[in-house]
Amino acid sequence: MDANKLWTSVTQKLKGTYPKSLFKVYFVKDSIPIAIVNHVFYLRGTLSVKDFFENETHKANVLKAFSELAANINDISVITDDKTEMELFKTLEESENKEEIDIKNDELSLKLRSESIANAKLNPKYTFNTFVVGPSNNIAVAACERIAMSDKISRDNPLFLYGGVGLGKTHLMHAIGHKILERDPSKKIIYISSETFTNEFLVALRHQKNAEFRDKYRNVDLFMIDDVQFIAGKETVEEELFHTFNDVFSAGKKIVLSSDRPPKDIPILEDRLKSRFVSGMTVDIQAPDYSTRMAILQYKSENEKKDIPNEVIEYIADNVKSNIRELEGALNKVILYSELSSKKIDLATAKEALKDILVSYKTKEINMLRIKEMVADSYNVTVEELNSKKRTKNIAFPRQVAMYIARNLLDISLPNIGDEFGGRDHTTVMHAIKKVEDEIMKSEITKVKIEKIISDLNG
Ligand code: ADP
Ligand code: MG
């Protein structure tokens, strides 16, 4: 059964059940059907999509719609990009089985290592061995290997990695962890996403368990925190990270941080954190060039044990340029499509499988800064004013428009949009989006103006 088609039918059925804007976010925009396995329907989505479909009522609605369509589906599961602990443990279990033979040789060390890998929540697949090196990432890889291989602390501590989404930052951080544990399984390693750091800290704060939180994140040999741009603007969390940073650093231990942009471009991040972040080594990862894209695709298809003709690999490498996650996604889509349609993998099948997604990849990358610039331009204000606290009408409305466009064009949560505009609350963002939706309904001029901005953004 085709997950895409089934999802389309189910969403058609449920369309009237939910308010329009909510329906659009959870059923259309933020969720992607991936596959049906053992009568479980898998979606890929954001954390809030996961929460939504884990809610009993929503789940029951969806399962009912499946059964009305005579589809034999017992459950729906949302896989987020940030792998949950459960999924990590699942992958870990698989990899442990494979390691059974080796365990006999070096049982203790391996056991210790796999425990440390589990404690550090490292994805077993993200190692240096599975990372393809090319001109776009070789400096970053060299810096990461150096951190992993040397026992001394040098000027490259902390290491700050930055680059666009899907270019391998998370992969490299996990690879550092694996390498260090391979050399010494007794090392204590923490890898944490900024989202988890924030949540755990706020929970600890509420339950007055700050001291335990502190111990957990400070007594380590290597502290890695991913996507620090998400912490910007959350004052108590910034404060905590600042102290964690100082403790780990002054104890002579290693620190690795990542972000989608260099520290100086993270809005509303405290200056003292910015200066800490750049005090060691800062390296960026660029989008991969053609030959690296080819190499990655070849590597992944060998790994999947699929015989994929060269012309198909060339076709994907030619068309998917900006992001390695999308590159992988495109390859998976071709493989899945050929399996579901029982067609052999050739250029025609690949074109057919990718016809929808390639349109969106071809357009110029849309990011928050470009949205802000376009909106500012169109309304005769500055980007700084959009980011500021000013609430005069001539600035507030363009700001709301920028929030609305960001929500529609980027894969970004309401709280993160709020952070991008001077640390505003997610309810403010929600209100802004509603306001713009209303204005679009009311005024043809506003509607056309916003459509123009969106079409300009799309190149
Ligand atoms: P980021 O954290 O920068 O958004 P990720 O590390 O999550 O990106 O990478 C996205 C996906 O692409 C992951 O599945 C990762 O394994 C893969 N990937 C990224 N770069 C490479 C590379 N150079 N070689 C192999 N796989 C890569
Ligand atoms: Mg990442």
pLDDT, mean of each 10-residue run, the chain (459 residues):
80 86 84 74 81 90 89 83 48 48 49 73 90 94 94 87 94 96 90 90 89 86 94 87 92 94 85 90 94 94 87 93 89 91 92 79 72 90 90 94 94 91 93 94 86 82
How many CA atoms are closer than 13 Å to the CA of 81, on its beta-carbon side? 20
Closest residue (by CA) to atom 19 of ligand 1? 168
CA of 226 to the centre of ligand 2 (A): 6
Distance 20 CA to ligand 1 centre (A): 35
Burial 437-449 (b: 16+ CB within 10 A, else e): eebbeeeeebeeb
Alpha-carbon distance values, 29 to 32, 356, 453 (Å): 8, 15, 20
- Distance from residue 126's CA to the centre of ligand 1 (Å): 8
Instruction: Look at residue 162 in the predicted model and tell me its pLDDT.
Output: 96
Nearest CA to ligand 1 atom 16: 171
State which of 81, 167, 193 you would mutate to test the pocket of ligand 1, scoring each by most atoms of that ligand within 8 A of its C-beta.
167
Q: Does the reported pTM lie above 0.85?
A: no
Walk across the sheet containing 281-284 and list its strands.
Answer: 189-193, 222-226, 254-259, 159-162, 281-284
Q: Which atom of ligand 1 is nearest to 174's Cα?
A: 6
d(CA 42, ligand 2 centre) in Å = 21
- What is the widest separation between alpha-carbon atoms in the chain? 73
Nearest residue (by CA) to ligand 1, atom 18, is 168
Contact 271, 238 (CB under 8 A): no
Nearest residue by C-alpha to atom 12 in ligand 1: 325
Q: What are phi and psi of 234, to 5 degrees?
A: -95, 95
Instruction: Confirm if 168 and 293 have CB atoms less than 8 A apart.
Output: no
Ligand nearest to the CA of 322: 1
Measured in Å, residue 181 CA sits from the centre of ligand 2 at 21
Q: What is residue 109's predicted lDDT score, i.e. its pLDDT?
A: 62
Question: Pocket of ligand 1, candidates 171, 174, 328: which has the most ligand atoms within 8 Å of its Cβ, to mutate?
Answer: 171
* Ligand with the closest atom to the CA of 324: 1
- Cβ < 6 Å from ligand 1: which residues? 126, 131-132, 137, 163, 165-171, 296, 324-325, 328
Cα(266) to centroid(ligand 2), Å: 16
pLDDT at 448: 84
pLDDT of residue 235: 85
Please report which ligand is nearest the Cα atom of 126: 1
* Paired tokens of 2: 């085709």
Among 128, 324, 328, which residue has the most ligand 1 atoms within 8 Å of its CB, making it the best to mutate?
A: 324
Give the ligand 1 atom nearest the CA of 258: 2
Q: Give how far Cα 373 sits from Cα of 261, 308, 453, Å.
A: 17, 42, 10
What is the best residue among 128, 325, 332, 412 to mutate for testing ligand 1's pocket, by most ligand atoms within 8 Å of CB?
Answer: 325
Q: Could you give the CA distance from residue 39 to residue 73 in angstroms, rounded to a whole number? A: 5
Task: Give the residue carrying structure tokens 């033979």.
Answer: 101
Q: Is the dihedral of CA 264, 260, 232, 240 positive or negative?
A: negative
CA 137 to ligand 1: nearest atom? 23
CA distance 199 to 84: 14
Spatial distance between the Cα atoms of 81 and 102, rounded to a whole number of angstroms:
31
Query: Closest ligand 1 atom to the C-alpha of 131?
Result: 24
